[in-house]
Amino acid sequence: MNFGGTIRLNRIGVCIIIGVFVLFLLYMSSNSSGGDAKVPVVKDVSDNNSINLRKLLIAAIQVAEKGGKEVVVVKKDNNLDEETKGKTKEGVNDPVTKADYKSHCVMYYSLKHWFPTLKVISEEHSSEKDCSNLLFLDLDLNPNTVTSSSISLPDEMIPPEDITVWIDPLDATKEYTENLLEYVTTMVCVAVKGKPIIGVVHKPFGVDTQDFMGLGDLSKTPKIIVSISHAGQVKNISEQAFGKNVEVISAAGAGYKSLEVATGNVTAYIHTTAIKKWDVCAGNAIVESLGGKMTTLTNELLNYSDTNVVNEKGLLATMAKHEWYLNRLSPSKVKV
């Protein structure tokens, strides 16, 4: 499999970069309409023996956007039907809304409709509401539908057993209910043999395409982004590891925080507790495609090939000096 070259596109807020081993897409739009026609599976998309990776990329872009449109529509209707899944380990309420379910229905079942043999893992699949009235999206898998010019995307046929797709229909649900919409994303990640090679992060309430080619000044004092839910704990750890002058920024949404690393707005994303793989897979692909790194706090790469949805070993994402951060965060140097 050969992913080479760099491609940047600006029509309707699209930015694509193809790295040597990983492929990511950051796609942001504020439109809120969706397709509703049933469509047949076509032979060049998938069969029992293989899945067309280029078609899967295009489908991932479109279902992330369509899921985002469901999120926007529910918010505009102001009828969230908010429920709770319980509390996180940090004691924070973990809500779920009608938007989570509607986005899940569109994203999950559209992918399964077009790629029946594809293994798709969704945050909301185990608790989904009735999706029986779903009209499958009329996806247009022609590459020209997502580009402003002719480009060469990988046209590989991959055995379905090698592929795992992770989707998060609505990342930062709590902030969604609190109108902190800048943190909200819908995400799709494609892993081949456990390695994240396609990441799609869609910001349904975003209006601008970020330029994430610049990495900022990595020689400055560390600027750490952490989850709002345990900002105090990580601030204490960060001060032990990097000194009192370290800047700690709290934010929501693993997708949002991963993009802050990729853009160079922060130097590291640190998460010290368990985190679900659908939260980090797309961001992992993005960070690595730009030459960065995402590992557990014990310096292990995350494996996205299995159905074990939880990473229990924390998270560190950086664009540079990854080993330096890991060394500073080692248990021998900080008290958790």
> Is residue 211 situated within a structural domain?
no
88/107 Cα distance (integer angstroms): 25
Q: Are residues 178 and 122 in the same domain?
A: yes
Predicted pLDDT at 258: 96
> Is residue 218 situated within a structural domain?
no
Q: Are residues 148 and 63 in the same domain?
A: yes
> Is residue 212 situated within a structural domain?
no
Q: Are residues 72 and 160 in the same domain?
A: yes
Structure tokens at 14: 């699209």
| Annotated binding-site residue numbers | 123, 168, 170-171, 279
User: pLDDT tens track of the chain, all 336 residues?
Assistant: 444 333 333 332 333 333 223 344 554 433 333 333 333 344 456 666 899 988 998 899 899 999 999 999 999 999 999 887 665 565 666 689 999 999 999 999 999 999 999 999 998 765 556 787 766 567 888 766 655 333 455 678 999 999 999 999 999 999 999 999 999 999 999 999 999 999 999 999 985 444 444 455 555 689 999 999 878 788 899 999 999 999 999 999 999 999 999 999 999 999 999 999 999 999 999 999 889 999 999 999 999 997 789 999 999 999 999 999 999 998 867 665
> Is residue 154 situated within a structural domain?
yes
Predicted pLDDT at 34: 39
Q: Are residues 26 and 115 in the same domain?
A: yes
258/268 Cα distance (integer angstroms): 9
> Is residue 99 situated within a structural domain?
yes
Which of 203, 237, 255 terminates a domain? The answer is 203
Which of 203, 232, 248 terminates a domain? The answer is 203
Q: Is 47 helix (H, G, I), strand (E, B) or coil?
A: coil
Predicted pLDDT at 201: 92
Question: Crossing angle, helix 98-114 and helix 53-77, to 10 degrees?
Answer: 160
Q: Rounded to the nearest 5 degrees, what angle is found at the Cα of 56, between the Cα atoms of 55 and 61?
A: 100
Predicted TM-score (pTM) of the model is 0.83
Q: Rounded to the nearest 5 degrees, what angle is found at the Cα of 29, between the Cα atoms of 45 and 288?
A: 65
99: Cβ–Cβ under 8 A, 6 or more apart, which residues? Answer: 70, 71, 74, 75, 80, 170, 173, 176
Predicted pLDDT at 104: 94
Domain enclosing residue 186, as ranges: 11-203
> Is residue 240 situated within a structural domain?
yes
C-alpha separations of 257 from 75, 190, 201, 242 in Å: 22, 19, 11, 20
Which of 203, 236, 259 terminates a domain? The answer is 203
Predicted pLDDT at 141: 81
CATH number at residue 102: 3.30.540.10
For 58, other C-beta atoms within 10 Å of its C-beta total: 23
Any idea which residue has 């090939």 for tokens? 305
Q: Are residues 164 and 73 in the same domain?
A: yes
Helix H segments across the chain? 53-77, 98-114, 173-177, 231-242, 254-263, 277-289, 322-328
Domain count, the chain: 2
Q: Are residues 234 and 92 in the same domain?
A: no
Q: Are residues 235 and 182 in the same domain?
A: no
DSSP for 188-249, please give it: EEEEETTEEEEEEEEETT--S---------TTSSPEEEEEGGGHHHHHHHHHHHH-TT-EEE
> Is residue 6 situated within a structural domain?
no
CB 320 within 8 Å of CB 218:
yes
> Is residue 26 situated within a structural domain?
yes
CATH number at residue 313: 3.40.190.80
Q: Are residues 43 and 136 in the same domain?
A: yes
CA 204 to chain centre: 13
Q: Are residues 141 and 106 in the same domain?
A: yes
Q: Are residues 28 and 145 in the same domain?
A: yes
Structure tokens at 103: 């986005």
In this structure, what are the phi and psi dihedrals at residue 326, rounded to the nearest 5 degrees? -60, -45
55/59 Cα distance (integer angstroms): 6
Q: Are residues 169 and 238 in the same domain?
A: no
Predicted pLDDT at 272: 93
CB 288 within 8 Å of CB 277:
no
Predicted pLDDT at 5: 31
Q: Are residues 20 and 95 in the same domain?
A: yes
Predicted pLDDT at 29: 38
| Annotated binding-site residue numbers for Mg(2+) | 123, 168, 170-171, 279
